[in-house]
Amino acid sequence: MNRRLPEALNQCQRFLFAVNSHAKPAFSARFLSTSRVNHERQECQVLVVGGGTGGCAMAAKLSSRLGSNKVIVLEPEEKHYYQPMFTLIGGGMKRLDQSHRQMSDVLPKKAKWVKEKAVEFDPDNNTVSTSGGKTIKYDFLVIATGMQLRYEKIPGLVEALETPDSNVCSIYSPKYVDHVYECLRRTYKGNVIFTFPHCPIKCAGAPQKIAYISDHYFRKLGRRENVNIIYNTSLPVIFGVKHYADALMKLVKRRNITLNVSRNLVEVRHGDNIAVFEDLTKPGEFYEETYSMLHVTPPMTAPDVVANCKQLVTPTGFVDVDQATMQHTKYSNVFSIGDSASSPNSKTAAAAAAQSPVVFRNLMAAIEGKNPTDLYDGYSSCPIVTGYSSCILAEFDYTLTPVETFPVDQSKERYSMFFMKKELMPVLYWKLMMKGYWNGPALMRKMFSVLKFNKK
């Protein structure tokens, strides 16, 4: 008998032996060992929840400054996806295996990776509980959980996406993105419909990018005369920045793409190839449209674990931050970056890049007991791929004013911008941003501005 165990446990063990002579003394010890693992308590200076674009960038910056084992990254996934590539995969220009790396290779070595999900935030006690039973106590918290895809919110959609040989597809998930190109290849005629949901989404330009790529695909193969391309968006305009919206309106007219605004997908009847839309200007009025191919951008929300912590979030479920400092409005030791934040910028990887130096410097100021002084201006970028060799590079801020990097009119379709999107940006992402070195093109913009001024 193990005399180091408390007497009460020794009595329990003797009772088990009396009841079952086959019992092994090690049973209680094994049970206790598992219990200790499941209720393990960890501590760190900074806890980063989420290993996506913003989370990895912040973990790299913070661990480089603070040193080893000061930063914990809480992330359950084994793969990290470069999601801006999904549109190109849908058009057959890239492969899915080119879009991801192992999470262990992307996260900084000086940070500790806890491969579990966050299941509960307790900002009043500076702790986060995990799916593995751990309680992680932090001094400072960075929430970088992104958004969750909610395909199930549209009746019939999940069944349609998961039916073999279905002609319903979506570029937004690695589970479904390969099917987009398969749908394109077997579509020869009829309505090809693309949707934009009635909610905030990540990469708001992607739903129309895949529409333009599809248009070009059908033209290259000589099928376009028999295909009617329809873009149904819940928004009242094609794009939120007028400078680029004007250019895109000319593009859809030139390519004979049907644009329906304020039209939201509410149901998919894939057995009959029918999509049901509601006219948002006339609530309760619905339209049934038949399709040969349907590309769906799913509704998206903040992750449930974030939205359920009412102390942390706005009524819409996003982390309640000051849109300039990215610091929480109530908890001064909490920051958020990327899609999980309530800041009203367009949710893109470029926005996370521009936010990262602001969050980093303001968090370091908070660690030193100082007030945050760095300000995020809402910069975001959306390379709107318009085909297999052209792209409009939209850049703008909170005021929806163009903030263009290059000394050319970026509202025009250009091959140079397409090449940058397809070939250069993935390299920049993996080699610089994931290592904490890329803060967006602000410095490059200043250089071009100086050159332009000197020429004058």
Give the integer Cα–Cα distance in Å for 330 and 308.
Answer: 16
Among the candidates 270, 299, 328, a domain finishes at 299
CB 152 within 8 A of CB 158: yes
Q: What is the mean pLDDT of residues 87-101?
A: 98
Task: Answer whether residue 408 shows pLDDT above 80.
Answer: yes
Given a contact cutoff of 8 angstroms between Cβ atoms, the answer to whether 53 and 176 are in contact is: no
State the chain's mean pLDDT as an integer: 92
247 is a domain residue: yes
The string of pLDDT tens digits covering residues 306-318 is 999 999 999 999 9
Shared domain for 173 and 263, answered yes or no, is: yes
Q: Within a domain: residue 427?
A: no
Q: Total structural domains in the chain? A: 4
Domain co-membership, 132 together with 45: yes
Q: Domain check: are 18 and 83 in the same one?
A: no
Closest CA to 208 of 188, 238, 236, 167: 238
Rounded CA gap, 322 and 115, in Å?
A: 30
In this predicted model, which residue has the larger pLDDT, 351 or 18?
351
**Residues of the domain holding 405:** 380-422+442-455
User: Residue 164 has what pLDDT?
Assistant: 86
The answer to whether residue 44 is catalytic is no
CATH number of the domain enclosing 206? 3.50.50.60
| Whether 353 and 388 share a structural domain | no
> Do 228 and 133 share a domain, yes or no?
no
Residues 248 and 350 in one domain: no
Task: Tell me whether residue 166 is in a domain.
Answer: yes
Residues 238 and 355 in one domain: no
Are 199 and 236 members of one domain? yes
Share of the chain above pLDDT 90, in %: 88
pLDDT, residue 376, reads 98
30 is written with which tokens?
């094994």
Domain boundary among 278, 299, 320: 299
| pLDDT over 70 at 19, yes or no | no
Q: Are residues 85 and 45 in the same domain?
A: yes
Write down the residue that tokens 């590309």 correspond to: 295
Instruction: Answer whether residue 337 is part of any domain.
Output: yes
> Among all chains, which residue has been given the structure tokens 């063990």?
13
The pLDDT tens digits for 411-426 are 999 999 999 999 999 9
Q: Are residues 119 and 85 both part of a single domain?
A: yes
Task: Please indicate, yes or no, if residue 401 is contained in any of the structural domains.
Answer: yes
The predicted structure's pLDDT at residue 34: 38
Query: Among 237, 264, 299, where does a domain finish?
Result: 299
Catalytic residue among 44, 309, 382, 391: 382
The per-residue pLDDT for range 185-196, each reduced to its tens digit, is 999 999 999 999
Between CA 13 and CA 9 the distance in angstroms is 6
Q: Report whether 229 contacts 192 (CB < 8 A).
A: yes
Tell me whether residue 120 is in a domain: yes
Residue 383 has pLDDT above 60, yes or no: yes
User: 433 lies in a domain?
Assistant: no
Q: Residues 109, 27: one domain?
A: no
203 carries an active-site annotation: yes
Whether residue 293 is found in the same domain as residue 207: yes
Say which of 183, 203, 309, 391 is annotated catalytic: 203
pLDDT at 38: 52
Question: Is 430 within a domain?
Answer: no
Least confident of 21-25, 274-278, 310-314: 21-25
